[in-house]
Amino acid sequence: MSFVKIKKEAVRMAFAVVGSLFLGSARLNAQEIKLYDNIVQPLSFWQGISFRVNALDWLALTPNLGMEFTLGNHNWNKYTLGFYGRANWNTASNSVPYNVYDYYDGRAELRRYWHGRNPRRVFYVGVYGGVNKFDVKLSATGRKGNGFLGGLTAGTVIPLYAYRNGGKLDFEMGVSVGALLAKYDEYVRQTSADGYDSYVITKPSDGYGFTFNPLLYALGNDVIRIGFVYHFGCSVADRYKRRVAIDDDYRYALQTRVHERDSLRNVRQLRKDTLRQERQQRQLERRAAKVRRQEAKAELRAAKKKAREQAREARSKEVRRKKASEKEDK
């Protein structure tokens, strides 16, 4: 049996296993009939791990598997860190095939999950980065090299089945947009005069650079994902909750902190108001003192003016008296 047939048989077996998970051995646990619970649920180490596959890559004969770790041990933790790998290895052949599809990559991905209006569905956004190695020829020109990839990802996860052993199966759809920094040789298959086929490099690599070749870009960035997620513990509908909505103690602690903050703010505001009133009172007192000083000065000026007028009047009377006395003496 050739290596290609072995790979195809492995793929068929993998789909048979997935089909058995869907149809054969799947039995809903009676305790899992409820769609979701708004309560805090702790997660053990294994309950925080998810296994992921991209069905589109399996259909393209590219085996793949990923592991995702919840960053925290409660169902309200929203961040996860995942590691994913794909490989379509080189098949041994005595011929020089026209089509070549050998691909390897690995990536790390950080995601943040949240719930929308539908409490059973979760959405996510994230960033990823990784490396790849490829030898792909699906047309006249082939490309062989390696590169670095990175970008943004987004998607949604929907719960499908719950099993008696506590396992859960979810359905995932997602897209990725990023960049591929790669170096590669371009080659073609040529037939010599004596009838032997060989690969001939037509454009050697000139170092790393951003490539926008549609096939390499789509492969490197895993542009479309349609796959399945298997994990233990609570359903995805019960994960990634807003902690304030499900944790009474946390909500009480937040309310306590808000109350303390408001109380402290009120004390500070009361102190500011008191200081402002004291400043205003001092300003009023200074103004009153100024008015009293001005009134005292005005009274003093009036008294001095009156004294001067009285003095002038007295002198006038004295002058008139002297004149009258002189007339009498004459």
Alpha carbons within 13 angstroms on the beta-carbon side of residue 213 total 20
At 246 the pLDDT is: 61
User: pLDDT 10s digit of each residue in the chain, 330 long?
Assistant: 444 454 555 555 555 544 544 443 334 333 343 445 566 667 788 888 999 999 999 998 899 999 999 998 777 788 999 999 999 887 666 788 888 899 999 999 999 999 888 878 999 999 999 999 999 998 999 999 999 999 999 999 999 988 888 889 999 999 999 999 999 999 999 888 787 888 889 999 989 999 989 999 998 888 999 999 999 887 887 788 766 566 566 666 667 777 778 888 888 888 888 889 989 999 999 999 999 999 999 999 988 888 888 888 888 888 888 887 877 776
Q: Which of 175, 178, 128 is nearest to 154 (CA)?
A: 175
Residues 206 and 263 in one domain: no
Task: Give the C-alpha separation, 171 to 156, whole Å.
Answer: 8
Is residue 84 within 8 A of residue 68, CB to CB? The reply is no
Could you read off the pLDDT of 36-78 as tens digits, one per residue?
Answer: 556 666 778 888 899 999 999 999 889 999 999 999 877 778 8
Is residue 131 within 8 A of residue 147, CB to CB? The reply is yes
Q: Which of 72, 27, 20 is nearest to 49 (CA)?
A: 72
Is residue 112 within 8 A of residue 68, CB to CB? The reply is no
Residues 217 and 106 in one domain: yes
Complete DSSP assignment for 172-206: EEEEEEEEEEEEEEEEEEEE-TTS-EEEEEEE---
Residues 234 and 256 in one domain: no
Residues 97 and 177 in one domain: yes
Task: Give the C-alpha separation, 285 to 291, whole Å.
Answer: 10
Q: Of 220, 243, 266, which marks where a domain is finished?
A: 243
Beta strand 100-115 with 79-88 is antiparallel
Report the residue count for the chain. 330
Residues 37 and 161 in one domain: yes
Is residue 138 within 8 A of residue 223, CB to CB? The reply is no
As for how many domains the chain has, the answer is 2
At 40 the pLDDT is: 64
Residues 150 and 70 in one domain: yes
CATH number at residue 137: 2.40.160
Residues 237 and 261 in one domain: no
At 18 the pLDDT is: 46
Q: Of 197, 217, 243, which marks where a domain is finished?
A: 243
Range of the domain at 139: 3-243
Q: Of 243, 277, 309, which marks where a domain is finished?
A: 243
Is residue 199 within 8 A of residue 129, CB to CB? The reply is no
pTM over 0.85: no
Helix (H) or strand (E) segment spanning residue 326 = helix 248-329
